[in-house]
Amino acid sequence: MAWFRKEKKPRAPRTERLEIPPDVWEKCEACGHTDIREKFIRSFNVCPACDFHRRIRAVEYARLLFDENSWTETETDIRSVDPLQFPDYAARVKKARGVADYDAILTAHGTMAEMPVGIGIMDFAFMGGSMGSVVGEKISRLAQRSLEKKHPLIVISASGGARMQEGVLSLMQMAKVSAVLSQLAERRIPYVSILTNPTTGGVSASFAMLGDAILAEPGAVIGFAGPRVIKQTLGQDLPEGFQTAEFLLDHGMVDAVVHRRDLKATVGRLLRHMSGKPAVAGWTTA
Amino acid sequence: MASTPTLEFEKPISELEKQIDELKKLAGDQRIRVEDEIAPLEKKLSALRQEVYRNLTPLQRLLVARSPRRPFTLDYIRLCFTDFIELAGDRLFREDAAIVGGWARLEGETVMVIGHQRGRDTKENLRRNFGMPHPEGYRKALRLMKLAEKFHVPVFTLIDTPGAWAGLGAEERGQAAAIARNLFEMSQLQVPLVATVIGEGGSGGALALGVADRVLMMENAVYSVITAEGCAAILWKDGKSIEMRERAASALKITAPELHDLKVIDEIIPEPVGGAHTNHEASAAALQEALIRNLEDLRKLKPDKLVRRRREKYLKMGQWAE
Ligand SMILES: [Zn+2]
């Protein structure tokens, strides 16, 4: 399969690094490892030294999951309004639209491993990936498209929770998306949820935790109450590794923690199982 | 309830109440006729209550909604329903007393009632975790809803919680998944569902009992995505001062009339003048009337139509431009 890439073993940093101009270097936020940017990009922005999964943008996930040139963005005209006339909200949205014009989620359809799918990808860069009416409506339309076409649905979460500037309307998006997912379930259309860093608050307590399969990226913080709030309530430090993807796996809350390089193959295999399609040779040994 | 602190804006009311009580006591002790003196005072009290309660700010409403003197879930169950049998436990981990539920009768007909339960004193609040559920609470609630569905019995939920519990155990045992599962299942439950916010409707912990065919709200109840304190702390780095809490409470649009305008709730249930805490019986009577009336409408619908309408209602939620 053309989309399938073999794992590249990270090599030791090259010694000739001083000859390369300084702006092509990238430093890992987690371990301090410095490497040429190209190498970070080639490894899906996972640190070649420590496997730290750096935050990537929605478009990068789209390129990672969809087959090359197969995808089209949907619902590009829908934008947030200021239903409560909330202080500073309109200005903040305006500013955020400079970062991403698709609000906190990019929705698209295309093919993944040659299967038609709809994918929603949250973008933390847009107001912390907060879920307001637009996020709810875009997922809902994407899911309805899946209902009509009988295509699997994939949602990648990255969110601090509900967008408080839209008040209870943002809380209601949790109910809205859960309602449309129940329709998908009724029609036996597979839904895979992928949790990235962070997936907390209202997003975690709705579609993120409702997947037929729930996958998480290594090290992602996942939980309902944010770690800071819990720390404040308890007045003590949280245990090491609390609310990480690995912690959730241990506690039975996710199906698997999946390295970014294996994400596409894993989702592809899951969807083929759940859609009654035969296995594809070569996929099982990632 | 004598130890319950009076809300600041209610002080003139409680002072007048005290004056009237003293006069009555005096009359009782000394057999003096005081009706002539009491009557105008009571008239004044009623006018004052009306005046104060007509002009409540959103923050004041929030404080009223949180008052331990208000009727709680078990009070409404006692006053609106008969033949209540509490059912405990989620069958998975343990019993969570922050949510209560069980079979009851409304006008003689069997129904399922489920609600958050706060405590009136420290001991009860510790047992009930101030009405903040753990995952077990949501899972018990879902178990009871599925039980009601099995026997074709309608479900009433009563919402009264500051929110989900921010603790280690609650996270470890998957409160996000538990809340999500309730939203999912409630959106397709095959029996009528009527939710009422009776006090504070705090975020996901409230919504976990809040997906329904009809969502009602007591007049002085509030419903919010985040507490006014939490919102003010995040946005303005000050969750304590009255000024900032007031600003957040009014910005978040948490009161019943505001939420009715936003089409998030379907009906506002009037409380007695001076708030539900001044007269539990009258509040319960108003709630009971609304529950009976709403159920009557929903009973006419076949399950598939009921679910379709419920889903359609939620699919419309939100505001955006395109
Ligand atoms: Zn690293």
Neighbours of A232 (CB within 10 A): 12
Looking at the structure, tell me whether residues B265 and B311 fall in a common domain: yes
Report residue B271 as tokens. 């409380």
CB contact under 8 A, B320 and A134: yes
Q: How far is CA A243 from the centre of its chain?
A: 17
Using alpha carbons, select from B172, B210, B209, B126 the residue that is nearest to residue A225: B172
Is residue B105 in a domain? yes
Q: Residue B201's pLDDT is what?
A: 98
Nearest chain B Cα distance for residue A73, angstroms: 15
Amino acid identity, position B311: R
Report residue B75 as tokens. 């009070």
How far apart (Å, rounded) are the C-alpha atoms in residues B85 and B107? Answer: 16
| CA contacts within 13 A on the Cβ side of B159 | 30
How far apart (Å, rounded) are the C-alpha atoms in residues B95 and B217? Answer: 27
How far apart (Å, rounded) are the C-alpha atoms in residues B267 and B283? Answer: 15
Check if A234 contacts B (Cβ < 8 Å).
yes
Q: Residue A10's pLDDT is what?
A: 52
CA of A220 to the centre of ligand 1 (A): 15
pLDDT at position A280 over 70: yes
Looking at the structure, tell me whether residues B245 and B196 fall in a common domain: yes
Check if B188 contacts A (Cβ < 8 Å).
yes
Q: Residue B5's pLDDT is what?
A: 60
Neighbours of B159 (CB within 10 A): 30
Which residues in chain A (26-65) have CB-CB distances under 8 A to chain B? none
A55 close to A197: Cβ distance less than 8 angstroms:
yes
B69 close to B1: Cβ distance less than 8 angstroms:
yes
Neighbours of B84 (CB within 10 A): 16
Confidence class for position A229, pLDDT limits 50, 70, 90: confident
Query: A114: part of which helix (H) or strand (E)?
Result: none
Phi-psi region of B276 (alpha: psi -120 to 50; beta: other; left: phi over 0): alpha
How many interchain CB pairs under 8 A, A with B? 192
Looking at the structure, tell me whether residues B275 and B297 fall in a common domain: yes
Q: What angle do CA A22, A27, A33 make, to 5 degrees?
A: 115
CB contact under 8 A, B251 and A87: yes
Instruction: List chain B residues with pLDDT less than 70.
Output: 1-5, 31
Backbone angles phi, psi at B22, to 5 degrees: -65, -40
Pairing of strands B222-224, B193-202: parallel
CB contact under 8 A, A207 and B180: yes
Chain A positions touching B187 (Cβ under 8 A) are 175, 178-179, 182
CB contact under 8 A, B321 and A78: yes
Contacts of A129 (CB under 8 A, 6+ apart): A104, A122, A123, A157, A158, A159, A160, A203
A70 close to A110: Cβ distance less than 8 angstroms:
yes
Which protein residues have their CB within 5 A of the ion that is ligand 1? A 28, 30-31, 33, 47, 49-50, 52
How far apart (Å, rounded) are the C-alpha atoms in residues A285 and B86? Answer: 53
Chain B positions touching A225 (Cβ under 8 A) are 164-167, 170-171, 175
Contacts of A28 (CB under 8 A, 6+ apart): A34, A35, A47, A49, A50, A52, A54
CB contact under 8 A, B317 and A209: no
Q: Residue A2's pLDDT is what?
A: 44
Q: Residue B1's pLDDT is what?
A: 38
Check if B118 contacts A (Cβ < 8 Å).
no
Nearest chain B Cα distance for residue A29, angstroms: 25
Report residue A204 as tokens. 């975690």
Is residue B241 in a domain? yes
How far apart (Å, rounded) are the C-alpha atoms in residues A236 and B212? Answer: 38
CB contact under 8 A, B322 and A77: yes
How far apart (Å, rounded) are the C-alpha atoms in residues B125 and B188? Answer: 33
Q: Residue A262's pLDDT is what?
A: 96
Check if B224 contacts A (Cβ < 8 Å).
yes
How far apart (Å, rounded) are the C-alpha atoms in residues B187 and B226? Answer: 23
B26 close to B8: Cβ distance less than 8 angstroms:
no
Which residue in the block uniquely carries the two structure tokens 């004056």?
B19
Which residues in chain B (191-210) have CB-CB distances under 8 A to chain A? 203-204, 207-208, 210
CA of A62 to the centre of ligand 1 (A): 24
Looking at the structure, tell me whether residues B21 and B118 fall in a common domain: no
Looking at the structure, tell me whether residues B181 and B273 fall in a common domain: yes
Please tell me which of the candidates A79, A174, A222 has its beta carbon nearest to residue B183: A174
Kindly report the CATH number assigned to the domain that includes residue B267. Answer: 3.90.226.10
Looking at the structure, tell me whether residues B47 and B137 fall in a common domain: no
How far apart (Å, rounded) are the C-alpha atoms in residues A122 and A160? Answer: 11
Q: Residue A283's pLDDT is what?
A: 67
pLDDT at position A79 over 80: yes
Confidence class for position A23, pLDDT limits 50, 70, 90: confident
Check if A176 contacts B (Cβ < 8 Å).
yes
Nearest chain B Cα distance for residue A121, angstroms: 19
Report residue B45 as tokens. 């009290």
What's the topology of domain A55-274? 2-enoyl-CoA Hydratase; Chain A, domain 1 (3.90.226)
Q: Is the pTM of this model over 0.90?
A: yes
Contacts of B2 (CB under 8 A, 6+ apart): none
Pairing of strands A115-122, A34-36: unpaired
Residue B40, domain extent: 8-55
Nearest chain A Cα distance for residue B162, angstroms: 13
Which of B181, B225, B243 should be substituted to probe chain A, the one whose Cβ sees the most A Cβ atoms within 10 Å? B225
| A88-97 pLDDT, tens digit each | 999 999 999 9
CB contact under 8 A, B317 and A172: yes
Handedness of CA A212, B165, B133, B293 (dihedral sign): negative
CA of A34 to the centre of ligand 1 (A): 8
A95 close to A51: Cβ distance less than 8 angstroms:
no
Check if A143 contacts B (Cβ < 8 Å).
no
ipTM rounded to 2 decimals: 0.94
- Closest residue on chain B to A163 (Cα): B225
pLDDT at position A64 over 70: yes
CA of A33 to the centre of ligand 1 (A): 5
Which of B92, B145, B265, B319 should be substituted to probe chain A, the one whose Cβ sees the most A Cβ atoms within 10 Å? B319
CA of A219 to the centre of ligand 1 (A): 12
Q: How far is CA B221 from the centre of its chain?
A: 6
Confidence class for position A11, pLDDT limits 50, 70, 90: low
Confidence class for position A239, pLDDT limits 50, 70, 90: very high
Domain count, chain B: 2
Neighbours of A93 (CB within 10 A): 20
How far apart (Å, rounded) are the C-alpha atoms in residues A197 and A158? Answer: 6
Query: B168: part of which helix (H) or strand (E)?
Result: helix B168-172
How far apart (Å, rounded) are the C-alpha atoms in residues B292 and B288? Answer: 6
Report residue B35 as tokens. 């009706």
How far apart (Å, rounded) are the C-alpha atoms in residues A79 and A77? Answer: 6
Q: How far is CA B295 from the centre of its chain?
A: 18
Is residue B122 in a domain? yes
CA of A121 to the centre of ligand 1 (A): 24
B84 close to B113: Cβ distance less than 8 angstroms:
yes
Which residue in the block uniquely carries the two structure tokens 């006053």?
B79
Which residue in the block uniquely carries the two structure tokens 């008969």?
B82
